[in-house]
């Protein structure tokens, strides 16, 4: 029996158990996936405890995505650049290996809706917090030209330096209308929707507005985007995309069915 879990706080509303159990059941695997609440500050003790309990793989969500890095034995190059991990796998000799599957998860979600070749494309990214980092890493490596806009402009400059290997533009969020005309598509990584706010958008003219959030926090922003003529996509595809990458790491390259997990998520929201 392979034991898997997501750790975080809060973790009760996480869709990860639903996604992974959908795949485990569909494939008839001898595995379990649970959600475990681990309070802030207890990351290292929890990783020791879960190793003792013979867990083989973990997803990591807030507030532990950075904190796990101080405890793991090995990290992928993506984790080093992004500065956060979302997937841990037990090493044969003990300890944990850290990966970040948010980056390939975003690329997979974009590919599903027809965005596959990023070279020469200009992507307007809104927000420079934790959620932005994996996206910036992924888009930079995929060859996109990025314009990163953030309320706090200094943070945008710093995040670009840390997560990207090529030079990109940055600026304040209130310059959105000025830059939007050049964008092939827009990715919103801000947490503005969690406070019920939305970022005002200029006309979309049928271009893609991709929001990394889903459910209630995304609803107002996406409704506004559609009213402004943007084609919209919420973050569920990215959530399932990163889960599929984690699943593949834990189960020796098995590629699970994205559609059944997406349908299960949409039905549960
Ligand atoms: P997350 O891990 O979800 O990215 P975070 O690291 O706290 O959370 O980052 C939140 C991001 O949303 C930041 O880019 C933040 O802008 P600042 O860096 O200026 O704080 C942005 N953000 C949050 N609320 C916002 C709002 N009401 N309008 C615009 N941007 C907002």
Give residue-wise pLDDT tens across range 166-214.
999 999 999 999 999 999 999 999 999 999 899 999 999 999 999 999 9
β-strands 145-150, 169-172: how paired? parallel
Q: Are 261 and 22 in contact (CB under 8 A)?
A: yes
Task: Name which residue sits closest to atom 26 of ligand 1, judged by CA.
Answer: 192
* Whether the CB of 161 sits within 6 Å of ligand 1: no
C-alpha of residue 266 to centroid of ligand 1, in Å = 26
pTM: 0.96
Mutate to test the pocket of ligand 1, among 40, 60, 124, 127 (most ligand atoms within 8 A of CB): 127
C-alpha of residue 76 to centroid of ligand 1, in Å = 26
* Whether the CB of 186 sits within 6 Å of ligand 1: no
Stretch 99-103: mean pLDDT: 98
C-alpha of residue 22 to centroid of ligand 1, in Å = 32
- pLDDT for the residue numbered 89: 98
Given the cut 0.95, state whether the ipTM is greater than it.
Answer: yes
Stretch 236-249: mean pLDDT: 98
Mutate to test the pocket of ligand 1, among 124, 131, 151, 174 (most ligand atoms within 8 A of CB): 151
C-alpha of residue 248 to centroid of ligand 1, in Å = 31
* Whether the CB of 150 sits within 6 Å of ligand 1: yes
Annotated binding site for NADP(+): 127-131, 150-155, 212, 235
Average pLDDT, the chain: 97
The torsion angles phi and psi of 32, rounded to 5 degrees, stand at -130, 155
C-alpha of residue 218 to centroid of ligand 1, in Å = 14
- pLDDT for the residue numbered 61: 97
Instruction: Quickly list H helices, the chain.
Output: 16-27, 43-52, 77-82, 102-112, 130-141, 153-163, 176-180, 216-227, 236-250, 258-268
- pLDDT for the residue numbered 207: 98
133: tokens are: 């980092």
Q: How does residue 64 score in pLDDT terms, banded at 50, 70 and 90?
A: very high
Structural domains of the chain ordered from first start: 2-100+239-268 (3.40.50.10860), 104-234 (3.40.50.720)
Give tens-digit pLDDT for 27-52: 999 999 999 999 999 999 999 999 99
Catalytic residues: 65
Stretch 104-128: mean pLDDT: 97
Which residues neighbour 239 within 8 Å (Cβ) at sequence distance 6 or greater?
Answer: 15, 19, 105, 214, 265
* Whether the CB of 155 sits within 6 Å of ligand 1: yes
- How is 204-240 classified by DSSP, letter by letter? -TT-EEEES--SHHHHHHHHHHHHTT-EEE-THHHHH
* Whether the CB of 224 sits within 6 Å of ligand 1: no
Stretch 220-243: mean pLDDT: 98
Task: Name which residue sits closest to atom 31 of ligand 1, judged by CA.
Answer: 192
- pLDDT for the residue numbered 1: 96
265: tokens are: 């998520």
- pLDDT for the residue numbered 164: 97
């Amino acid at each position: 029996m392979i034991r898997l879990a997501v750790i975080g706080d809060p973790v009760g509303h996480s869709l990860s158990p639903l996604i992974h159990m959908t795949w485990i059941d569909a494939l008839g695997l001898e595995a379990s996936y649970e959600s475990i609440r681990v309070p802030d500050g207890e990351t290292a003790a929890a990783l020791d405890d879960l190793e003792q309990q013979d867990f083989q793989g973990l997803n990591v969500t807030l507030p532990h995505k950075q904190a796990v890095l101080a405890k793991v034995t090995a990290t992928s190059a993506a984790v080093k650049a992004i500065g956060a991990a979302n997937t841990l796998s037990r090493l044969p000799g003990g300890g944990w290996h850290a990966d970040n599957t948010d980056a390939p998860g975003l690329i997979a979600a974009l590919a599903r809706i027809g965005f596959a070749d990023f070279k020469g494309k200009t992507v307007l990214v809104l927000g420079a917090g934790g959620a932005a980092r994996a996206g910036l890493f992924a888009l930079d490596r995929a060859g996109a030209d990025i314009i990163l806009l953030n309320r706090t402009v200094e943070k945008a400059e710093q995040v670009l330096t840390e997560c990207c290997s090529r030079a990109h533009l940055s600026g304040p969020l209130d310059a959105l209308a000025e830059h939007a005309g050049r964008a092939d598509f827009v990715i919103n990584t801000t947490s503005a929707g969690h406070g019920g706010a939305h970022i005002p958008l200029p006309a979309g003219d049928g271009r893609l507005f991709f929001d990394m959030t889903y459910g209630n926090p995304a609803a107002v922003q996406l409704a506004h985007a559609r009213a402004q003529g943007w084609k919209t996509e919420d973050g569920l595809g990215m959530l399932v995309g990163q889960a599929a990458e984690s699943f593949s790491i834990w189960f020796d390259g098995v590629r699970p069915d994205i559609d059944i997990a997406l349908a299960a998520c949409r039905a549960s929201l």
